[in-house]
């Protein structure tokens, strides 16, 4: 029995999709459950030469032996969900998906309010997907729940019951958190944050798993750092410098250009502390260092290994997963050696 949670270590865009896909494809959990805010966060997944952009479906969908679930704390837009069912039909996502009956539902009014809000759209830089207004309505107890939506009837389940039953019977559950720690409503750079907490504790609550049942917390960090939208960014570099380093990026959901900066060790330390991280997954190492597609730790340059060692020393958390490219095989997995 193992319950693992994966969290973004910074402002999202850390490469969680690649890490989730790798971990689920290798560890093969019985349930992969989506936690987090909702369809305002995108995950990119590359598998067998194909690339997918996801907003609600768990990124571990490539492990076809797992049940896929969306926890009660996640906002659901049925249109987004059904579109992903169609796009991922070859993986039978539709046939494997369950949605907690207590999920709140995003409607057109929520998206309209999100896009037209001077504060959210222009000052904060909201994605316009309706999550902020929907979470506001949930707090005011005026929102529809998944159990009230006829077209979702075939997918309704008690996700908490299913996850806990699987764990009690010796199975494995993998909880995918969306976005990133520094976007947390409580611990992020308020007011430039998302509309709920985005830490491991809340992700466990999102799917109804108690803290005593969580075994591992993977914190994902990119070797540099990026941010979409407004807000403080202490280690930000100029766009010209980012371009010179080949670090130009765009958001999955919005298409907006990401702001780029140097790795923020102070943020990493705080993120690991508040999330209770037990392991670190470090991505995009190949984009910062000359190590594309390296699959053995011994083949990394001394500069790269020094960088990794510094992260471990400063955070007190072992770096067990190192991504050196977009393909799943471009991964150095040190879990057996370090744990």
Q: What are phi and psi of 30, to 5 degrees?
A: -80, -35
**25 flagged as catalytic:** no
CA 164/CA 98 separation, integer angstroms: 15
Residue 105 DSSP one-character state:
B
DSSP lists the bridge partners of residue 259 as 227
Alpha carbons within 13 A on the beta-carbon side of 251: 21
Q: Distances from the Cα of 164 to the Cαs of 25, 29, 32, 160, 190, in angstroms? A: 22, 13, 13, 6, 34
Number of neighbours of residue 293 by Cβ within 10 angstroms: 13
Structural tokens at position 90: 């070859």
Catalytic residue among 30, 43, 197, 206: 43
**119 flagged as catalytic:** no
Alpha carbons within 13 A on the beta-carbon side of 144: 15
Long-range contacts of 110-116 (CB under 8 A, 24+ apart): 110/134, 110/137
Structural tokens at position 305: 């290994």
Alpha helices in 176-264 (DSSP H): 200-206, 239-244
Q: H or E element: which one contains 271? A: helix 265-275
Radius of gyration of the chain measured on its C-alpha atoms: 19
CA 126/CA 215 separation, integer angstroms: 33
Of 114, 118, 123, 150, residue with least CA distance to 37: 114
Catalytic residue among 13, 30, 100, 197: 13
CA angle 46–209–40, rounded 5-degree value: 45
List, by residue number, the catalytic residues: 13, 43
């Amino acid at each position: 029995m193992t319950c693992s949670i994966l969290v973004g270590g910074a402002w999202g865009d850390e490469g969680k999709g690649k890490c989730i896909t790798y971990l689920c494809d290798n560890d093969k959990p019985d349930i992969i459950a989506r936690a987090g805010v909702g369809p305002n966060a995108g995950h990119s997944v590359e598998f067998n030469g194909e690339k997918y952009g996801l907003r609600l479906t768990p990124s571990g969908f490539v492990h076809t032996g797992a049940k896929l679930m969306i926890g009660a704390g996640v906002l659901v837009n049925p249109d987004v969900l059904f579109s992903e069912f169609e796009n991922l039909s070859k993986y039978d996502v539709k046939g494997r998906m369950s949605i907690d009956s207590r999920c709140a539902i995003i409607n057109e009014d929520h998206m309209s309010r999100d896009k037209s809000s001077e504060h959210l759209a222009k000052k904060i830089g909201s994605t316009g997907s309706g999550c902020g207004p929907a979470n506001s309505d949930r707090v005011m107890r005026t929102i529809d729940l998944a159990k009230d939506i006829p077209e979702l009837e075939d997918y309704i389940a008690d996700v908490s019951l299913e996850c806990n039953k699987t764990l009690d019977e010796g199975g494995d559950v993998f909880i995918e958190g969306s976005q990133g720690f520094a976007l947390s409503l409580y611990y992020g750079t308020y007011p430039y944050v998302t509309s709920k907490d985005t830490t491991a504790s809340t992700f466990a609550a999102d799917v109804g798993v108690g803290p005593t049942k969580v075994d591992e917390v993977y914190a994902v960090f990119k070797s540099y750092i990026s941010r979409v939208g407004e807000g403080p960014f202490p280690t930000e570099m100029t766009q010209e410098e980012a371009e010179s380093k080949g670090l130009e990026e765009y958001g999955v959901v919005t298409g907006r250009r990401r702001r780029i900066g140097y790795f923020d060790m102070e943020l990493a330390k705080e993120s690991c502390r508040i999330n209770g991280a037990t392991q670190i997954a470090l991505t995009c190492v190949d984009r910062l260092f000359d190590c594309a597609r390296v699959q053995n730790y011994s083949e990394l340059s001394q500069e790269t290994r020094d960088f990794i060692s510094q992260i471990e020393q400063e955070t007190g958390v072992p770096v067990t997963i190192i991504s050196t490219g977009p393909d799943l095989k471009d991964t150095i997995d040190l879990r057996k050696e370090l744990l």
